[in-house]
Amino acid sequence: MNPGMAMRLEQRTFEAFKRAMVDFLPHFINYDVEWPTLYSYKFSLLFDWLNMTFNWRDIKYEELKFDIQDIILQFSETDER
């Protein structure tokens, strides 16, 4: 009987993976992305009787922050072999 493929994952390996993701993901997502600095929105009400336009400019973005360190992986033992 072939039990299939088993993967051994230890807590310290998972912690190292989380640290790597915290360092890598924000830089990867923000890399070479041209975020817009201008935005406008037209708001119409009552069958276009009342129109308003909202304009935003000089929009600033912060680097993304992820809560990856808060992820908990719980290991349990099984009797299957």
Q: Please tell me the predicted confidence (pLDDT) of residue 8.
A: 64
Q: What share of the chain is helix, strand, coil (3-state, %, to 5)?
A: 30, 20, 50
Question: Residue ranges per domain, the chain?
Answer: 11-58
Is the per-residue pLDDT at 4 higher than 80? no
Q: Please tell me the predicted confidence (pLDDT) of residue 35.
A: 81
Q: How does pLDDT run across 16-66, given as a tens digit for each residue?
A: 888 888 888 777 777 667 788 899 999 888 877 889 999 999 988 877 777
d(CA 45, CA 79): 65
CA trace torsion 25, 26, 31, 33 (10° rounding): 120
Model confidence at 1, in pLDDT bands (50, 70, 90)?
very low
